[in-house]
Amino acid sequence: MIFTMPATVKEILAAEAKGQEVELHAWVRSCRDSKNISFLNLNDGSCVSGIQVVVDEECRKASPAFAQTDQINGINQISNGASLRVKGRLVASQGNLQAVEIQASGIELLGAAPQDTYPLQKKRHSFEFLREISHLRGRSNSIGAVMRLRNRLSMLVHEFFQQHGFYYIHTPIITVSDAEGAGEMFRVESSGCLDEGRGGESLGEKSAEEKSTGKKRKYFFGQEAFLTVSGQMEGEVYAHSHGRVYTFGPTFRAEESNTSRHLAEFWMIEPEVAFLELDGLMDLAEALVRHLIGGTLRHCAEELELLNKWIEPELLRSLQSVTESEHFVRISYTEAIALLEGAVQGGKKFDYRVAWEDGLQTEHERWLTEEHFRQPVIVYNYPAEGKAFYMKQNEDGKTVRGMDVLVPRLGEIIGGSQREDDYEKLKARMLADGMDPEHYQWYLDLRRFGGTPHSGFGLGFERIVQYVTGMKNIRDVIPFPRAVGQAS
Amino acid sequence: MIFTMPATVKEILAAEAKGQEVELHAWVRSCRDSKNISFLNLNDGSCVSGIQVVVDEECRKASPAFAQTDQINGINQISNGASLRVKGRLVASQGNLQAVEIQASGIELLGAAPQDTYPLQKKRHSFEFLREISHLRGRSNSIGAVMRLRNRLSMLVHEFFQQHGFYYIHTPIITVSDAEGAGEMFRVESSGCLDEGRGGESLGEKSAEEKSTGKKRKYFFGQEAFLTVSGQMEGEVYAHSHGRVYTFGPTFRAEESNTSRHLAEFWMIEPEVAFLELDGLMDLAEALVRHLIGGTLRHCAEELELLNKWIEPELLRSLQSVTESEHFVRISYTEAIALLEGAVQGGKKFDYRVAWEDGLQTEHERWLTEEHFRQPVIVYNYPAEGKAFYMKQNEDGKTVRGMDVLVPRLGEIIGGSQREDDYEKLKARMLADGMDPEHYQWYLDLRRFGGTPHSGFGLGFERIVQYVTGMKNIRDVIPFPRAVGQAS
């Protein structure tokens, strides 16, 4: 069985097969009617470009769609947003934008888009407005391009890890662990159990248990369960069986921050590698970022040009500067503080004090990557204070083997660490953080049975999509953003 | 910057680069000591095979690890499950199982696995036992192989759709819609809001709103929110902008069925295609199944042989029979009932009655695919009664354009349909099902603005992993299974 699908606009434009008969399904982007001829621009979402369709008088007469008129305005329904089936022949284009256009022999209207009610007009809409019509905004040029870039970045992530011998692992979404130790998780409960404390009104069907015993189950999972904030701990489990693994899945934060930087639901990429130490981890992070940026430059030129023109004029230049740089700067946290102190002495003003104990603020990170080095910077060996319990302690007693990758224009894009692989040290840190080691015995076990030095990091997928598209609001780089007050 | 990682066992065995110096990190699968020499079998999770490491007397003396003894048993710690760093040279193997082995020059113990407490012994363990140690079971041969096959199947899914011009779309996990119309969803709420009805005891940090107004937010998302049961409806949205899209993400059912066939959290693949009708959808489904099975046969021969030997003796034969079949049988539901009625008249006994109004039971599906046709079968045009509201109604007034793909050994593996694209018919079906059309106006809008014939299906990812691995219990094909009473 040989399986093919009809050619898309992208494929037709790439093949330039003049003389070929085609059948194309697509949506109208524009329609210019003159006396003897109509010019349609059709787009099917496969690329930024539409393809020009030329409809001569003979074809117009043969196509009932051109006679069908809008009940309200009395104009024909081949208008912006309508979907068509077009038959015709590819011919050399008269214009100089594209090599081929379609000389139509038949046009069929599949679905109209009445211009008096269709929310998407030919003009540019604000992103605020587009967010209110999230079921239609994918049809706009910019959001359409962002989602194609998002697809490409997803594939580049897989390509990178598969090429380097990693296995893709689906870590669980519903969990009873808490890798970050915060109080910002979402609780999950079945409708049948959730109302336990609500006076007994039933939100759903009665459970089998309820039917037989008359008693409701308190917790579906036997205990309180939450949406994951990170697949790291489970990633560590599989790093200890499969060596090199990565996750790529949704993660959640119940943060009530209604900003352009926060989502309640976002996708994360988390590699976890056995036998890898901090230096190797920085190599891995740098190589991944280069692969993602190089790959989008190679595969998505048309989308990037559109976004460079309309969204972020520095986009192409800054992406190219990353791939052209020889290597990312790597400095220890202590060195970074020294550089910042030097800048302050030289007259640079920051809102926040520069001090080893105070940590790096966003303005400090931006100075390092945008003003001082003007390229991506990896900062490593952070103060232990305030860092997660699982980061490996350095022998200085003060710092841990954590690292952050900072990029111009966006700031932190990756955070990771070598993991504590000493059973006793890890247990002591858990106790110090108020965690119950018994609840995490499975995690401690990794240090008890065939333990290894190992490392991993997290890359927020929407962050890299923002970086590569230049989009300012994180809600515009995910198809259906979820945030406080918003789930539709 | 050129980035490479150390060679894995899989890469070393494939390259057969005799004479090369290597450094390998891996875990001990077995260790045989004799007077002047030790033979280790090391595995790093990259493949089923381990690699043999030969340690002569000189290397043993030079490697402190061989002198370190277990405190309890007084034996050396290079035992099953321990992790090692090995340096040595690749030489032609003395045995005939593999072309190369490592002649070690130095062995370093990274992490011991005390044999008195390490739960994984050299012997075979039951899957029930392995499920109790989900943080270690990836190290077993069978679960290790299943997870590598799962990785490969994930990549084959992406490869197939990308080759055919599809875009990967991340549909939301948290939703206020309900694509299946069931009462079996999980509710999601932030810890800070969830306790509203619980007497005011706070489960988390106070929200900003709570701090400023003294009042708690009732719902984080402004209304009750749930975990998605399907990305279909949102997939339809993007099919109307990007033409061909697919999802591949987690979905949830709060079913209290504690069986070997049910999970509360599982991954689904859902293509959704504009301008595609039922015939094309069946082509797409068949092509995908063939691509997945053909690809695993090509890429995972070693894993499949292992599973064929230990898990399912029919595995290889049945997978090959799918790729060798010329095409999947396609019969309408009405034809399927006629065949079953013929069988009953011929003396075949079923537990359930065969009748057009009664629907197909599992035993009927199995008879069709395992006994009658002995190959995959696609059944289409099901009775409208009992099928989802979004399936396109046929003109006979009785059936809808739904289809199921049935495979021997497992039964239904794919279910899909052409979608109702008539605004009024869809709205009428929603009302008949007790749905509020206003709540789904965005979904109806797809039929109002540039609507098209379109189709899609769902493939339960764990189902295809089960089919390809022969595993009997669905909990053994996902790294961390979630089911009623189980979330750790």
DSSP category for residue B205:
P
B441 falls within a domain? yes
B56 and B109 part of one domain? yes
Spatial separation of the C-alpha atoms in residues B415 and B268, rounded to whole Å: 11
CB contact burial A95-110 (16+ within 10 A = b; e otherwise): eeeeebbbebbebebb
CA atoms within 13 A of residue B372's CA, in its CB half-sphere:
22
Spatial separation of the C-alpha atoms in residues A424 and A445, rounded to whole Å: 11
A457 and A308 part of one domain? yes
A209 falls within a domain? no
Select from B22, B27, B18 the least CA-distant residue to B50. Answer: B27
DSSP category for residue B138:
G
* Encoded amino acid at A70, one letter: D
Query: Which residues, in sequence order, are CB contacts of B86 under 8 Å at separation 6+?
Result: B22, B23, B24, B25, B26, B40, B42, B53, B102, B104, B106, B107, B108
A37 and A93 part of one domain? yes
| Residue of A173, A265, A299, A375 to mutate, testing the B interface (most B Cβ within 10 Å of its Cβ) | A173
Q: Is A401 on the interface with B (CB under 8 A)?
A: no
ipTM here: 0.94
A266 and A155 part of one domain? yes
B333 and B471 part of one domain? yes
Domain end call among A68, A91, A123: A123
**Domain CATH code at residue B66:** 2.40.50.140
Q: Is B129 on the interface with A (CB under 8 A)?
A: no
B40 and B162 part of one domain? no
Is pLDDT above 50 for A87?
A: yes
| Residues of B with Cβ-Cβ distance to A183 under 8 angstroms | 191-192, 204-205
Number of inter-chain CB pairs under 8 A, A vs B:
388
Report the pLDDT value the prediction gives residue B183, as an integer from 0 to 100.
57
Quick one: which H or E segment has residue B102? strand B100-111
Task: Note whether B242 contacts A45, CB cutoff 8 Å.
Answer: yes
Report the pLDDT value the prediction gives residue B488, as an integer from 0 to 100.
74
The average pLDDT across B392-396 equals 97
**Domain CATH code at residue B450:** 3.30.930.10
Nearest residue on chain A to B188, alpha-carbon basis: A188
User: Locate tokens 């590698």: which residue?
Assistant: A273
B275 falls within a domain? yes
Domain end call among B123, B157, B182: B123
Spatial separation of the C-alpha atoms in residues B188 and B206, rounded to whole Å: 18
B416 and B281 part of one domain? yes
More reliable by pLDDT, B442 or B70: B442
DSSP per residue over B370-398, as a string?
IIIS-S-EEEEEEESTTS-TTBPBPTTSS
Report the pLDDT value the prediction gives residue A96, as an integer from 0 to 100.
73
Range of the domain at A63: 9-123
Is pLDDT above 50 for B247?
A: yes
Report the pLDDT value the prediction gives residue A204, as an integer from 0 to 100.
42
B197 falls within a domain? no
A321 and A376 part of one domain? yes
Rounded (10°) CA dihedral A69, A75, A77, A81: -160
CB contact burial A190-210 (16+ within 10 A = b; e otherwise): bbbbbbeeeeeeebbbebeeb
User: Locate tokens 């002995």: which residue?
Assistant: B374
Count of structural domains within chain B: 2
Spatial separation of the C-alpha atoms in residues A140 and A202, rounded to whole Å: 43
Give the closest-approach CA distance of A167 to chain B in angstroms. Answer: 6
A116 and A147 part of one domain? no
Report the pLDDT value the prediction gives residue B205, as an integer from 0 to 100.
45
Quick one: which H or E segment has residue A425? helix A423-432
| Cα B268 from chain centre | 8
Query: Which residues, in sequence order, are CB contacts of A126 under 8 Å at separation 6+?
Result: none
Report the pLDDT value the prediction gives residue B73, as an integer from 0 to 100.
54
Report the pLDDT value the prediction gives residue A1, as an integer from 0 to 100.
74
CA atoms within 13 A of residue A243's CA, in its CB half-sphere:
25
A393 and A432 part of one domain? yes
pTM, 2 dp: 0.95
* A 106-125: CB under 8 A from B: 110-114, 117-120
| Residue of B48, B171, B220 to mutate, testing the A interface (most A Cβ within 10 Å of its Cβ) | B220
Output the six-digit token pair for B7.
């060679």
* Encoded amino acid at B480, one letter: F
Report the pLDDT value the prediction gives residue B68, as an integer from 0 to 100.
63
A160 and A119 part of one domain? no
Confidence of residue B202 (pLDDT cuts 50, 70, 90): very low
* A 319-378: CB under 8 A from B: 326-327
Is pLDDT above 80 for B181?
A: no
Rounded (10°) CA dihedral B206, B207, B212, B213: -90
Is pLDDT above 90 for A467?
A: yes
Spatial separation of the C-alpha atoms in residues A366 and A295, rounded to whole Å: 25
B136 falls within a domain? no
Q: How much of chain B exceeds pLDDT 70, in percent?
A: 92
Spatial separation of the C-alpha atoms in residues A453 and B249, rounded to whole Å: 31
| Residues of B with Cβ-Cβ distance to A169 under 8 angstroms | 147, 151, 479
The pLDDT tens digits of the residues spanning B126-144 come to 999 999 999 999 999 999 9
Output the six-digit token pair for B255.
């079913």
Rounded (10°) CA dihedral B12, B16, B19, B25: 10
A133 falls within a domain? no
A435 and A311 part of one domain? yes
